[in-house]
């Protein structure tokens, strides 16, 4: 069976009159049906852009994409606008970060679910309404009938995000993209939404790509983690490998800056400096200016994702030394 998602050397540039921003600079990955990949990174690392590229949702006038991008057998980069429109919402669906602004304020939840179902399946309003009820049950929204008639501002943040998930699932997509779906929520609600997403993913057997800056969230939901920095994956591997034996200094920095198990008695550290300007990237390792173990060799060329440790790979020329040390 071929992979659900196949990405090779994907680059995404935003071109405007006075500058070009290199948001994604060569990303490769595969995702199989039923697998959960978490893309981890800070703001501006290109993780959301990568996610949106999978549905070609970046602003069409300014975006230039190159590379190979296949989702469920479709060539996303070459597809016509009409083809893309039929793929969106049916084969691939997305859950956004901020459910308050991502839902249309003047349409009811019900209208926003049924329009998707009607759009892709051409069914009657009554059938779509019945589907909408089932979907609200699926995402565990109580008194579904009443909630379908509600407007987004009448629901709590958690319910809104559940409704958002219901919309995304309305046509049973094979691939679900989640763009920091828990970031805007209260901590207690975050856990509920994460558990819900994981249960739905297992029940429906979807592939999920989950973008977050939260290591805890990543560990909770993912099978694999890819750490993104300056538009490249700098480390990838199973959750266990990446969390326990991070090889890239950036990943180590992220782990050191986060409260997690095994941190008792240790001080939290910070990564000094700030992310590079994506309009003018350095020639070598993009993390070198902030890296504690950088030397002259780091600045020469962008390191490859080193496959010496099997599927756990990192884009750092010093990783072997550090493992020894």
Out of 67, 77, 119, 282, name the contact with other proteins by CB under 8 A. Answer: 119
**Nearer Cβ to other proteins, position 120 or 318?**
120
Rounded distance, CA 49 to CA 227, Å?
A: 14
Instruction: Output the smallest distance, CB 97 to other proteins, in A.
Output: 9
**Nearer Cβ to other proteins, position 98 or 306?**
98
Rounded distance, CA 287 to CA 254, Å?
A: 13
Per CB under 8 A, 172 contacts other proteins: no
User: 232-238 and 312-314 as β-strands: parallel, antiparallel, unpaired?
Assistant: antiparallel
**Nearer Cβ to other proteins, position 167 or 242?**
167
Out of 76, 167, 227, 271, name the contact with other proteins by CB under 8 A. Answer: 167
Rounded distance, CA 113 to CA 33, Å?
A: 24
List C-alpha distances in Å: 253 to 41, 59, 146, 222: 12, 32, 47, 20
Which string of x and - marks every residue 59-98 that binds other proteins (by CB under 8 A)? Answer: --------------------------xxxxxx--xx-x-x
- H or E stretch including 227? strand 224-229
Question: 158-188 in b/e burial notation, b at 16+ Cβ within 10 A?
Answer: bbbbbbbbbbbbbbebbbbbbbbbbebbeee
Asked whether 104 and 152 are in contact (CB, 8 A), the reply is: yes
Instruction: Output the smallest distance, CB 246 to other proteins, in A.
Output: 33
Out of 10, 27, 57, 176, name the contact with other proteins by CB under 8 A. Answer: 57
Instruction: Output the smallest distance, CB 48 to other proteins, in A.
Output: 11
Per CB under 8 A, 156 contacts other proteins: no
Q: How far apart are the first and last CA of the chain?
A: 41
Per CB under 8 A, 151 contacts other proteins: yes
State the angle between helix axes of 109-121 and 125-138 in degrees (0 to 180), rounded to the nearest 10: 120
- H or E stretch including 100? helix 99-102
DSSP state of 90: T
Rounded distance, CA 231 to CA 275, Å?
A: 11
Out of 2, 32, 101, 304, name the contact with other proteins by CB under 8 A. Answer: 101
Longest dimension (CA), the chain: 67
Per CB under 8 A, 183 contacts other proteins: no
Which string of x and - marks every residue 224-253 that binds other proteins (by CB under 8 A)? Answer: ------------------------------
Instruction: Output the smallest distance, CB 80 to other proteins, in A.
Output: 13
- The footprint of other proteins on this chain (CB under 8 A) covers a number of residues equal to 28
**Nearer Cβ to other proteins, position 122 or 262?**
122
**Nearer Cβ to other proteins, position 90 or 129?**
90
**Nearer Cβ to other proteins, position 21 or 176?**
176
> What is the binding site for other proteins (CB under 8 A)?
55, 57, 85-90, 93-94, 96, 98, 101-107, 115-116, 119-120, 151, 153-154, 164, 167
């Amino acid at each position: 069976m071929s992979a659900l998602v196949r990405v090779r050397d994907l680059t995404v540039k935003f071109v405007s009159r006075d500058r070009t921003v290199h948001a994604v600079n060569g990303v490769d990955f595969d995702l199989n049906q039923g697998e959960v990949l978490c893309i981890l990174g800070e703001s501006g690392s290109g993780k959301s852009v990568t996610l949106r590229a999978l549905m070609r949702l970046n602003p069409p006038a300014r975006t230039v994409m190159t590379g190979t991008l296949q989702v469920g057998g479709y060539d996303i980069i070459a597809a016509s606008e009409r083809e893309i429109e039929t793929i969106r919402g049916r084969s691939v669906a997305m859950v956004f970060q901020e459910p308050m602004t991502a839902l249309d304020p003047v349409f009811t939840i019900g209208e926003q679910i049924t329009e998707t179902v009607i759009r892709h399946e051409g069914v009657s309003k009554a059938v779509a309404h019945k589907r909408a009820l089932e979907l609200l049950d699926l995402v565990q929204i109580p008194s579904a009938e009443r909630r379908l008639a509600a407007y987004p501002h009448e629901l709590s943040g958690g319910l809104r995000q559940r409704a958002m998930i219901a919309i995304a699932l309305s046509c049973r997509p094979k691939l679900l993209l989640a763009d920091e779906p828990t970031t805007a929520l209260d901590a207690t609600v975050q856990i509920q939404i994460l558990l819900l997403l994981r249960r739905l993913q297992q029940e429906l057997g979807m592939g999920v790509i989950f973008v977050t800056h939260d290591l805890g969230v990543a560990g909770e939901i993912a099978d694999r983690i890819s750490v993104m920095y300056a538009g490249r994956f700098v480390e990838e591997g199973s959750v266990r490998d990446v969390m326990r034996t991070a090889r890239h200094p950036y990943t180590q920095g992220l782990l050191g800056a986060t409260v997690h198990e095994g941190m008792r008695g240790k001080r939290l550290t910070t990564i000094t400096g700030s992310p590079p300007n994506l309009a003018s990237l350095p020639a070598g390792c993009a993390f070198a200016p902030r890296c504690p173990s950088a030397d002259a060799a780091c600045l020469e060329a962008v390191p490859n994702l080193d496959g010496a440790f099997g599927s756990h790979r990192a884009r750092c020329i010093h990783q072997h030394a550090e493992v020894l040390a």
